[in-house]
Amino acid sequence: MIRNIFRTLPAVAVIALNALMADLTAIAQQANYWKWQNPLPQGNILYGSFYLNDQTGWACGEGGTIIKTTNGGYDWRVLATGTRKSIRSLYFLDENSGFACGLSGEVLRTNDGGASWIDVPLNATGNLFCVKFIDQSTGFIVGDTGTVFRTTDAGNSWVRKPAIVFRSLTSCSGYGDIVLAAGLNGTLIRSADKGDTWQTVTVSNTNYFFDVTFRDSATAFISGSYGTILRSTNTGLSWSSIPMGTGRWFYSMSFCDNSNAYVTSDYGYIYRTTNGGTNWTALQTVTSEFQYSVKAFSPDKAVSAGNKGTLLITTNGGTNWADKSYGFRNFLYSIDFSGKDNALACGAQGTVAVTTNGGENWERIQAASTSSFLYQVDAVGSGIAYTAGSGGAFLKSTNGGYNWTGISTGLTTDLYAIYFFNELTGWACGDSGTLIRTPNGGLTFEIFQSDREKYITDIEFANAVTGWYTQQGGLIYKTTDAGLNWYVPHSAPFDATVGGIDFFDSNTGIGYTYSNKLILTTDGGSNWTETGVPPNIYVNNVLAVTGHVYRAMGDYGFSYVTTNSGQSWSEEINNNFSDRIFGMYFFDEDLGWMCGGNGLIARYQNTTVSLASGNNISGPEGFQLLQNFPNPFNPSTKLPLMLSAGGFVEAEVFDAAGRMVAGLFNGYLESGRHEISFAAEDLNSGVYFCRVSYRGNIEREPQTRSVRMILLK
């Protein structure tokens, strides 16, 4: 169960949707939901942003991330995009119609303000870095190898213009008929006819250009690497350098009028000008994270977005900044629950995170020194928990993780994994063949002999007598007498070290190797079958959720799942995590958590869509949401939904204060009658509202219905 550390050192909503369709037998399809719990609103890098006005805006970034604000940057909501590709830029023509572009040729379009997105097939093979419109009809998408796509009909069709440069174009901007596109190594091209034809512009600067923007009809600026700020006063025909007195990199610039502008930089710095860009003043913000995008609303107010999901806002001209993202960002390697409400996670800088409400809130605890790495935590129950890590660190808590006491094991080797049967008896393993056992809650330890030249990566037990540990060199050891004796049950070593294992019972288990293979056994480890994972993906953890549902997670938000005992695997593409995933905990196949890089903690809910035989409903596109039954209810209720035609449906539950408490469904449904079943065991009594949005195949605007529900406990 241990994560791969050697390369780096509430209400459960279960949907039963019964579509009554002619001559169909019952089928089941899965839809997967992951929700950020730390940091919030999310923790991926944010590269771009666009604001329609001083209230409504969007930001985009890694992992297919798009978030939205409707109150000027103070609060943000994560939107579902259906992609995990990095999104680098977005632009909205109005409150509904918008575009986004990103790596690997990704282009998306929305017609409902970002609630849903569809692919735009441009057949672009390279990376795309900027989408920008210069009026309501004319827009551009630019990217690798001088790529320029142009639309003159508000994005309904796009034409690729002949490339006149072959370096990446990272940004574009326009004023009237003049359009500029800037890129790497001093690349700049210019059009005087709204992008119909282009010419190169020679600039005596070969640094990377990250942004080009017009201040007015004649004046434009370029921001780039190594202190680059360039200015043109003749619509981009010639440029002069503005001395900045620094080698910082400048990423995004925004003017609110002809005098005042902000430009983002590295290590949390943002620069400001009050005299039209002639002089700039460095502003230290509240973070050290790089800032990649900025919008200046007025001389006093600006909002920026950047690394690790930071969202900064100033309302006094940059004197003070507030980060509207929140939570901690220490790497987390392990997560464990002692009940559905109480959990612990542990990680870098001596971090332990504690929740007592199912992860709705997490509190960071300084459990060990800031130089310590805590690699695994075991929440035993009754407030008892253990964690272990670098330098032989071994700690115990007796109050649910809020306070920790160091325990001496007599060892200074790194401990990579622990496993406790109860409050007293547990094992730990680690570097230099370390394998130790305590029978009395850490008062004393027994040292078991092992090959001291080889580290042990993981230890796992199926019951009090049957267990396994994995050791460098491709070996898995097994005990059937509670650890008194260990042996290798498989006939030959694996081709690489086994990084971690997990067993559902004494026979059924899963592991992974450092050669990037998943291994499966159904006979307690005597025989193993292997399967590969997608190239360039590194697995950090595996979990046997049930006897037939296994999970594997790793770098770049990689999540792999099988529901048929490993006969086939599928990648979950509807999460937007881009960092490394290390820890997992699942109660069952419907409810689980993950943790990983930069403080990532996320919760999983499984939604099941089932279709049964019935009759079609005919008529124009539309839908009905009927009153839930029973109402009042405790703890579950059903909401009938009638669709006259197939379409995209999103169902959410809100409390009386307008806070979303459950996302029930977001996907395509065929015509017919459906029932949405909502289980609310973890919610308090009160009034709740279920809001359902529907957009048919030929409709551009969604229809929305709501019902009032009363939960009485």
Say yes or no to pLDDT of 363 above 80.
Answer: yes
Question: What is the pLDDT at residue 512?
Answer: 96
428 is written with which tokens?
Answer: 């730990």
Confidence check: pLDDT of 52 > 90:
yes
Give the chain's mean pLDDT: 89
Residue 501 predicted with pLDDT over 60? yes
Lowest mean pLDDT among 199-213, 332-346, 410-424, 662-676: 662-676
**Residue 449: per-residue pLDDT:** 66
Residue with tokens 């260990």: 486
pLDDT of the residue at 28: 28
Length of the chain: 713
Higher pLDDT, residue 385 or 21: 385
Question: What is the rounded average pLDDT of the residues 522-547?
Answer: 90
Mean pLDDT across 517-541: 90
Three-state secondary-structure class, residue 348: helix
Contacts of 484 (CB under 8 A, 6+ apart): none
Compute CA distances 167 → 127, 141, 157, 344, whole Å.
12, 15, 25, 48
How much of the chain exceeds pLDDT 90, in percent?
A: 73
Residue 31 clears pLDDT 70, i.e. is over it = no
Reading phi first (left if > 0) and then psi (alpha if -120 to 50, else beta), residue 513 is in beta
b/e per residue, 532-556, with b = 16+ CB within 10 A?
A: ebeeeebbbbbbbbeeebbbbbbbb
| Least confidently predicted of 121-135, 329-343, 503-517, 630-644 | 630-644
CA angle 205, 209, 211 (to 5 degrees): 135
Confidence of residue 82 (pLDDT cuts 50, 70, 90): confident
pLDDT score for 645 = 77
Domains of the chain: 44-121 (2.40.10), 332-606 (2.130.10.10), 616-711 (2.60.40.2550)
CA distance 17 to 603: 22
Q: Name the token pair of 66.
A: 């798009």
CA 326 to chain centre: 15
Q: What is the model's pLDDT at position 529?
A: 94
Asked if 187 contacts 202 with a C-beta cutoff of 8 angstroms, the reply is: no
Q: Residue 83, exposed/middle/buried by CB under 10 A (0-12, 13-18, 19+)?
A: buried
Amino acid at 337: F
d(CA 98, CA 109): 6
Looking at residue 98, its pLDDT comes to 98
Q: Which band of pLDDT confidence, cut at 50, 70 and 90, is reported for residue 347?
A: very high
Most confident listed range (20-34, 315-329, 564-578): 315-329
Q: Mark residue 700 as left, alpha or beta (left: phi above 0; alpha: psi -120 to 50; beta: remaining).
A: alpha
| Strands of 238-383, DSSP E | 240-241, 250-255, 261-265, 269-273, 281-284, 291-296, 302-306, 311-314, 322-323, 332-337, 343-347, 351-355, 363-366, 374-381
Query: Residue 296: what pLDDT?
Result: 98
Confidence at residue 3, expressed as pLDDT on a 0 to 100 scale: 41
Return d(Cα 385, Cα 408) in angstroms, integer: 16
Q: What whole-number distance in Å separates Cα of residue 606 and Cα of residue 245?
A: 54
Strand, coil or helix: 104: helix
Answer yes or no: is pLDDT of 696 > 60.
Answer: yes
- Residue 701 pLDDT greater than 70, yes or no: no
Taking residues 345-350, report their average pLDDT: 98
State the residue for tokens 């690497």.
225
691: left (phi over 0), alpha (psi -120 to 50) or beta: beta
The answer to whether residue 5 scores a pLDDT higher than 60 is no
pLDDT for the residue 20: 27
For 428-458, what is each residue's pLDDT tens digit?
Answer: 999 999 999 999 999 999 998 666 789 999 9
Most confident of 8-17, 19-28, 170-179: 170-179
Read off the pLDDT band of 697 (50, 70, 90). low
**pLDDT tens-digit map of 543-576:** 999 999 999 999 989 999 999 999 888 888 768 8
Q: Are strands 199-200 and 261-265 parallel, antiparallel or unpaired?
A: unpaired
Lowest mean pLDDT among 19-23, 108-112, 565-569, 626-630: 19-23
Reduced 3-state DSSP string for 229-260: EEEECCCCCCCEECCCCCCCCEEEEEECCCCC
Q: What is the structure's pLDDT at 148?
A: 98
Structure-block tokens of residue 49:
């942003």
**Bridge-partner residues for 140, per DSSP?**
132, 150
- pLDDT for 700 equals 52
What mean pLDDT comes out for the span 12-36?
40
pLDDT > 50? residue 617: no
Q: What does the block give as tokens for 626? A: 């009927």
Q: Which of 245, 248, 283 is CA-nearest to residue 262?
A: 283
How far, in Å, are 286, 325, 365, 396, 554 from residue 352 at the CA level? 24, 20, 5, 12, 21
User: Of the given ranges (37-46, 53-62, 116-125, 697-706), which has the lowest mean pLDDT?
Assistant: 697-706
